[in-house]
Amino acid sequence: SQTIHQWPATLVQPVGSPLSLECTVEGTSNPNLYWYRQAAGRGLQLLFYSVGIGQISSEVPQNLSASRPQDRQFILSSKKLLLSDSGFYLCAWSPGASGTDTQYFGPGTRLTVL
């Protein structure tokens, strides 16, 4: 069966510090991968998605970046965090590019920027 992991589960970082969040998927190959951010009291905002290794599409211009160094690994990074980067970060995968595909979500990372 497929599983998705995210770490760390929680993170407290000072403004201006770097960020690296990792997401890995097991039990499948060539998944579509997604990074979402959920701010308090708001819906999900799609940040990045990837349909293959090295293929990253950005939905919202900001100080975050994403990389996919391996087929089932998706990394979210920042060189300098802002207060507004605080939120709940969710990684998700889907089997392919079909609109009927279910997305499977990881447990999330709670990021607090102070």
* HSE of 2, CA atoms in CB hemisphere, 13 A: 17
92 vs 75: CA distance, rounded Å: 12
Out of 75, 92, 111, 113, the only residue in the binding site for other proteins (CB under 8 A) is 92
- Reading the block at residue 69, the tokens are 């160094």
Interface region with other proteins, contact rule CB under 8 A, candidates 21-29, 64-72, 76-84, 99-107: 99-107
Q: Is 85 helix (H, G, I), strand (E, B) or coil?
A: helix
Stretch that binds other proteins, among 14-22, 69-77, 79-87, 91-99 (CB under 8 A): 91-99
Q: Which of 24, 20, 45 is nearest to 35 (CA)?
A: 45
Lookup: tokens for 68: 């996919």
- Stretch in the footprint of other proteins (CB under 8 A) among 23-31, 41-49, 67-75, 79-87: 41-49
Among positions 1, 14, 40, 43, the unique one binding other proteins when judged by CB under 8 A? 43
Contact between 46 and other proteins per CB under 8 A:
yes
Residue whose CB is less far from other proteins, 15 or 39: 39
What span, in angstroms and rounded, lies between the C-alpha atoms of 76 and 93?
A: 14
Binding site for other proteins (CB under 8 A): 36, 42-44, 46, 49, 51, 59, 88, 90, 92, 97-108, 110
